[in-house]
A and B are shown apart, each in its own frame.
Chain A
């Protein structure tokens, strides 16, 4: 019920930004404080949903700098929470902060990246592993953290590229963690990012160890180029990435298609991508 109400509030933020001042004020002074101090998972999840909507629809300029910082820190605080649904909401929120934070992200990037690192490295416990539902929730949380790392690279490209070692490290980490396969919606966007990334930023992926880089990218694209991941926007970039590798690194590309783990189905996906005419 609270999440339904949170969605309604989010829709008001999105469509009537200029009129929501009092609602934002009530939320910040009463409702959210109560939610987060309750330590009750469902209430904290509601709180994170509202904060994610505030960042997405109202943006950093709506708030005083220190208030926005509090919002970002609150979102990040749950990235290593033992509750998978809170980790997921937090990780998703960090992606939203990267996407909608604009230049203000620079002030929070370190904090956000550290939080994402913790979310990605969060270990699955034996109890979670035993229960399918819990295990699925765990993977969704992790997928969202990986996806948000991709969003930082994509939406905050200029900022991250200004520090080459960090850029190289983040890009390689992100590609090393793909493909994500549980949160299909997030996967679809990440595969679009990757398709563009391979064509536009090949140096960062393939300079240190070209064969390993191509192997990993081919493995991801082979998983990604199938119906359940397709959107209107991601087929062409993925197909272009396959064609790019075939042209620019043919020997490595051919070897990658024969690497361990690539079966006939996966090779067929690569073939489909290669023959795709957008």
Chain B
């Protein structure tokens, strides 16, 4: 349907944007006030908790996630017909690539960024400076989010999004230093992945040894 559907976007999107930008709130039993979800979660997080992010689902978060997924589908399906809304959508998506309280939202947002770039590229018909500028902003945002990311699936989506953006912008997008930095990041990811695998294997071995001890 593409263009036939696109003409309804101005009527559909405002409510989706307001759903997507919901700021979930939460209260703690015994306290009268409610606060931003992330603040409450930080308050109640045990001191000895590891660095892993807490992923939770509330009605508000679910609503937010549905809205973001709808935006993501519109981006992918409508291509350049979505061009008019790229600016507003990227503001939402870029602000949520490090959304601490739900990994699915982080994954959907980062995965939508290459589609936004495609929409602009399709409208412009070529890779111009504006697209390269957008691609730089997106990659910088993703790179920052990657540094805080603790979930493997999200990390994978972030790396894939960077790859897509790179392929969309093509040759000449990065300087030699930037290529080296991105390559080093990829190699670090591999190293981390190997370490995680080794840790898991060691844990399994330890558990096995514990079981053997019990048998002795």
Q: Are both chains from one complex? A: yes
B156 to A, closest residue via Cβ: A4
User: Which chain A residues lie closer than 8 Å to B173 at the CB level?
Assistant: 15-16
Interface string of B151-173 (1 = CB under 8 A from A): 01001100110110011011101
Complex CA gap A19/B170 in Å reads 13
Measured between beta carbons, the chain B residues less than 8 angstroms from A15 are 166-167, 169-171, 173-174
Q: C-beta contact mask, A1-45 vs B, less than 8 Å → 1, else 0?
A: 110111111111011100110110011000100000000101100
Main secondary structure of the interface of A (DSSP, over half): helix
Contact A9 B183 (CB under 8 A): yes
| A1-B156, A20-B179 given; A8·B163 CB < 8 A | yes
Indicate if A46 sits at the interface (CB-CB under 8 A). yes
- The answer, among B179, B184, B189, for a CB contact under 8 Å with A16, is B179
CB contacts (< 8 Å) of A16 on chain B: these are 171, 173-174, 179
Contacts of A42 in B (CB 8 A): 197
Counting contact residues on chain A (CB < 8 A from B), the size range is 20 to 34
Total count of chain B residues near the partner, CB < 8 A:
29
Query: Is B152 a contact partner of A20 (Cβ separation < 8 A)?
Result: no
Which residues of chain B are within 8 angstroms of A31 by Cβ–Cβ distance?
187, 190
Residue of A whose beta carbon sits closest to that of B189? A5
Given contacts A5-B186, A8-B186, A19-B174, contact A14 B179 (CB under 8 A): no
Contact B183 A12 (CB under 8 A): yes
Residue-wise, chain A 174-194 has the 8 Å CB interface mask toward B (1 for contact) of 000000000000000000000
Query: Within residues 41 to 87 of chain A, which ones have a CB less than 8 A from any CB in chain B?
Result: 42-43, 46
Q: How far is the CA of A1 from the CA of B188 in the complex (A)?
A: 11
CA distance A27 to B205 in the complex (A): 30
Q: How far in angstroms is the closest Cβ of chain B from A1?
A: 4
Q: Does B92 contact A (CB under 8 A)?
A: no
Which residue in B175, B180, B182 is a CB contact (below 8 Å) of A8?
A: B182
- Residues in A with CB closer than 8 Å to B169 are 15
Q: Does B187 lie within 8 Å of A12, measured CB to CB?
A: no
Shortest B160–chain A CB gap in Å is: 6
Least Cβ–Cβ distance between A22 and chain B, in angstroms = 6
Instruction: Select which of A5, A6, A12 is within 8 A of B179 by beta carbon.
Output: A12
Flag whether B55 is at the interface (Cβ < 8 A).
no
| Nearest CB of A to B74, in Å | 25
Point out the residues of chain B lying under 8 angstroms from A4, CB to CB: 155-156, 159-160, 163, 189
- Report the bound CA distance from A19 to B166 in whole Å: 14
CA distance A10 to B163 in the complex (A): 9
Q: Please report the C-alpha to C-alpha distance between residue A42 and residue B160 in the assembled complex, in whole angstroms.
A: 18
Contact B163 A7 (CB under 8 A): yes
**Contact: B193 with A2, CB < 8 Å?**
yes
Nearest CB on B from A8, distance (A): 5
**CB–CB A12/B160 < 8 A:** no
Known: A12-B182, A12-B183, A19-B180. A1 touches B193 (CB 8 A): yes
Once bound together, how far apart are the Cα atoms of A1 and B160, in whole Å?
10
Judged by a CB distance under 8 angstroms, whether B176 is at the interface is: yes
B53 → chain A closest CB, angstroms: 17
Instruction: Scan residues 172-216 of chain B and give those whose CB is less than 8 A from a CB of chain A.
Output: 173-176, 179-180, 182-184, 186-187, 189-190, 192-194, 197
Residues on A with C-beta less than 8 A from B155 are 1, 4
Question: Known pairs A1-B155, A5-B159, A8-B186. 20 more at Cβ < 8 A?
Answer: A1-B152, A1-B189, A2-B189, A4-B160, A4-B189, A5-B186, A5-B190, A7-B163, A8-B162, A8-B163, A11-B166, A12-B183, A15-B166, A15-B167, A16-B174, A19-B174, A19-B176, A19-B179, A26-B187, A27-B187
Chain B interface residues toward A at CB < 8 A: 152, 155-156, 159-160, 162-163, 166-167, 169-171, 173-176, 179-180, 182-184, 186-187, 189-190, 192-194, 197
30 A-B pairs within 8 Å (CB atoms) are namely A1-B155, A1-B156, A1-B189, A1-B190, A2-B193, A2-B194, A4-B159, A4-B189, A5-B193, A6-B186, A7-B159, A8-B160, A8-B182, A8-B186, A9-B186, A11-B163, A11-B167, A14-B167, A15-B167, A16-B174, A19-B174, A19-B175, A20-B179, A20-B183, A23-B179, A23-B180, A26-B183, A27-B187, A40-B197, A42-B197
Return the 4 tightest CB-CB contacts between A and B, nearest first: A23-B183, A19-B179, A1-B193, A4-B159
